[in-house]
Amino acid sequence: MRTFARGLFVSSLLLGLAACSPPAKAPEPTIAKEPVPVACDPAKPPVSAPATPSTTTASAVEVSRAPRIDVTTATTPNLARAEKETEVTVRVRVRGLPLAQTQRPPLDLALVVDTSGSMDGVAIEKAREAVGRLVDLLAEGDVVSIVTFGSHPKVVVPTTKIDKETRPGAKAAIAQIKAEGTTDMAGGLATGLAQLRGSCAPPNAIHRLVLVGDGVPNDSAPVLQIADQAKAAHVPITTLGLGNDFDETLMVAVAQRSSATFHFVEDGAGVAAVFEKELTRMERVVARGTQLEIVGGPGVTIREIVGFGAVSGSRVAHLPLGDLAEGQVRDVFVRATVKGIKDGRNAELLDANVSYSAPELGAMTASSFAKMPMSADEGRLKDASVREIEHGSTTVRVADGIVKAVALARAGDLAGARKILDAAQKLAKEGETKFGDKALGEKVAEMAKLRKTLPSLLPQVDDTMRSGMGGGMGRPMAPRPVAASPADAMSLRASHGEAMKQLQGL
């Protein structure tokens, strides 16, 4: 019973689609000189073909083929003025349904940990403890590899099937991890992905790469390329940004581009807690690699899908939602305009089509259709707003404004960042008054502080480049970054991290 509980507890963080791809080019890993556990049992080579399905009862088959998620739509307003264009917000709610299954496939985990010089001291001690704790929670039969990166990537624990003999060896190797060097994040990710591609895990295993980083990489461009490679290989990369000096925009991009999630961790002591919280939250995954397709109806123009980038003027949008757990809810807010039609008729707003993979079953789909009646009745139109949906949309839009402002400042557009943040702050003020939401009121003060810290995110530009980017012809000189205090830098990343929680439905 204890072994099963550990296995179920660990399952979620690593949930991804089981898929194997040809090995990609990656930096030559440096194998740790310290003793490491024996890799996968050579007497039991990886299975290359799907196992023959076992015989099940009719009732078991019926349960396994039941839908794993449901999709619903709701709008505000719930009624539009006839013969006039109307702005509308559609909430698409995707929810994981209860699952009776009590077993999970084996896990195939690659843990990639930043051990650059900035991690020296308490941070590396806590990181070793967290990684060791994770290994303790793995069930026998799970597969793990551990890669560290400083100036170069190092394979601390090569692909290893966990059992009573290999677990102690893995922990012994973890205990010898040291902090040194610069930050070759790309090399670490490439090496971790290579470990997964060469894994001895069975075909039905759940693949996942987890990245823990506390600084800015030597070169960010290849990091994003590797995230794209991981997505193609059906390997989500969960990212943990640690401390007050990492590139939050990059860590978010890595997670989003590989259909995974980002987490902010204040210090090394919090790493294990975040592991535990994430594993607990996703204890029962029902849908992997969830994708949402939004298709606008006739006369409908999508203006924005909050939190998913610019789609203005589009009719069709595809949104990665990643893995979905039992009971988990993802709300997606679509802001659109619809052309008015005759009184009494229904406007066809959109189709929400969801595709996903159910564990041990394969590809499945679900869908919902949103419509809106038209009316010329002023009394009915006056009461058409739906408070719940307006409130939810406002909260998510404020969070999206914070994340966008931070990204723009990182890109050097301080004026644009402040403009978006000011709009989000105004929206939060209005929401506090309209909905009596104290949390939105707290966001107002939080954004005022964040606005002052944004210049610290500006990229470093030398004076020669600065004079070429600005000055002369009436253009202002490109702004210089202004260092933030450690406390302000931490506050900025905490604000960004909380906003990402909201956007990711965590």
For 34-44, how does the pLDDT look when each residue is reduced to its tens digit (9 = 90+)? 334 445 654 34
Report residue 75: phi and psi, to 5°. Answer: -130, 155
Residue-wise pLDDT tens digits, 153-199: 999 999 999 999 999 999 999 999 999 999 999 999 999 999 999 88
Sequence length of the chain is 506
Read off the amino acid at residue 502: Q
Residue 272: pLDDT band (50, 70, 90) is: confident
Residue 314 has pLDDT above 90, yes or no: no
Side by side, the strands of the sheet bearing 69-76 are 69-76, 86-96, 329-338, 300-305
Tell me the mean pLDDT in the region 455-467.
71
Read off the amino acid at residue 108: D
Q: Report pLDDT for 207.
A: 86
Cα four-point dihedral sign 322, 258, 262, 156: positive
| Stretch among 53-57, 126-130, 191-195, 298-302 having the lowest mean pLDDT | 53-57
Three-state DSSP state, 230: helix
Residue 102: pLDDT band (50, 70, 90) is: low
| Stretch among 47-56, 106-115, 220-229, 321-330 having the lowest mean pLDDT | 47-56
User: Containing H/E element for 437?
Assistant: none
Residue-wise pLDDT tens digits, 328-383: 999 999 999 999 889 999 999 999 999 999 877 789 999 999 999 999 999 899 99
Residue 24 has pLDDT above 50, yes or no: no
Q: Report pLDDT for 61.
A: 39
Of the candidates 461, 448, 450, 458, the one whose C-alpha atom is nearest the C-alpha of residue 482 is: 458
Architecture per CATH, 2-38+102-281: 3-Layer(aba) Sandwich (3.40)
Per DSSP bridges, beta strands 262-265 and 237-242 are parallel
Is 368:72 a contact under the CB 8 Å cutoff?
Answer: yes
Side by side, the strands of the sheet bearing 80-81 are 80-81, 362-375, 346-358, 285-296, 316-325
Q: Report pLDDT for 17.
A: 35
Q: Report pLDDT for 281.
A: 60
Residue 20: pLDDT band (50, 70, 90) is: very low
Residue-wise pLDDT tens digits, 487-501: 999 999 999 999 999
Cβ partners under 8 Å of residue 363, min gap 6: 355, 356, 357
| Stretch among 135-139, 221-225, 329-333 having the lowest mean pLDDT | 135-139
Q: Helix and strand tally (H, E) in the chain?
A: 14, 16
Residue 12: pLDDT band (50, 70, 90) is: very low
Q: Report pLDDT for 506.
A: 82
Tell me the mean pLDDT in the region 191-218.
89
Q: How many CB atoms lie within 10 A of CB 94?
A: 25
Say whether domain 67-99+285-385 belongs to CATH 2.60.40.3670: yes
Strands (E), 8-96: 30-31, 69-76, 80-81, 86-96
Is 263:497 a contact under the CB 8 Å cutoff?
Answer: yes
Output the CA–CA distances (angstroms, integers) from residue 106 to 202, 228, 249, 264, 471, in the order listed: 8, 24, 32, 27, 60
> CA gyration radius for the chain?
25
Residues 24-62 as b or e (16 or more Cβ within 10 Å = b): eebbebeebeeebbebbeeeeeeeeeeeeeeeeeeeeee
Task: Print the SS3 string covering 458-504.
Answer: CCCCCHHHHHHHCCCCCCCCCCCCCCCCHHHHHHHHHHHHHHHHHHH
Tell me the mean pLDDT in the region 434-451.
96
Output the CA–CA distances (angstroms, integers) from residue 343 to 70, 81, 378, in the order listed: 32, 8, 12
% of the chain surpassing 70 pLDDT: 81
The Cα–Cα gap between 200 and 182 comes to: 31
Residue 291 has pLDDT above 80, yes or no: yes
Domain spans of the chain, in order of start? 2-38+102-281, 67-99+285-385, 393-504
Tell me the mean pLDDT in the region 439-468.
83
Three-state DSSP state, 245: coil
Is 429:444 a contact under the CB 8 Å cutoff?
Answer: yes
Residue 469 has pLDDT above 90, yes or no: no
Residue 223 has pLDDT above 80, yes or no: yes
Rounded to whole angstroms, the maximal C-alpha distance in the chain is 79
Read off the amino acid at residue 330: R
- Cα 394 from chain centroid? 21
Residue 471 has pLDDT above 80, yes or no: no
Q: Report pLDDT for 280.
A: 61
Tell me the mean pLDDT in the region 416-422.
97
Q: Report pLDDT for 482.
A: 81
Q: Report pLDDT for 311.
A: 72
Query: Any bridge partners for residue 304, and if so which?
Result: 335
Q: Which carries the bigger pLDDT value, residue 475 or residue 156?
A: 156
Structure tokens at 107: 């896990």
Of the candidates 480, 495, 501, 504, the one whose C-alpha atom is nearest the C-alpha of residue 424 is: 495
Q: Report pLDDT for 476.
A: 54
On the question of a cis peptide bond just before residue 77, with omega within 30 degrees of 0, the verdict is yes
Strands (E), 10-58: 30-31
Residue 53 has pLDDT above 80, yes or no: no
The Cα–Cα gap between 464 and 162 comes to: 55
Highest mean pLDDT among 94-108, 121-135, 186-200: 186-200
Q: Report pLDDT for 157.
A: 96
Angle at 450 (CA atoms; ends 444, 451), nearest 5 degrees: 90
Residue 226 has pLDDT above 60, yes or no: yes
Mean pLDDT of the chain: 84
Query: Any bridge partners for residue 108, and if so which?
Result: 143, 207
Is 89:78 a contact under the CB 8 Å cutoff?
Answer: no
Query: Any bridge partners for residue 147, and if so which?
Result: 112, 155
Q: Report pLDDT for 363.
A: 92
On the question of a cis peptide bond just before residue 29, with omega within 30 degrees of 0, the verdict is no
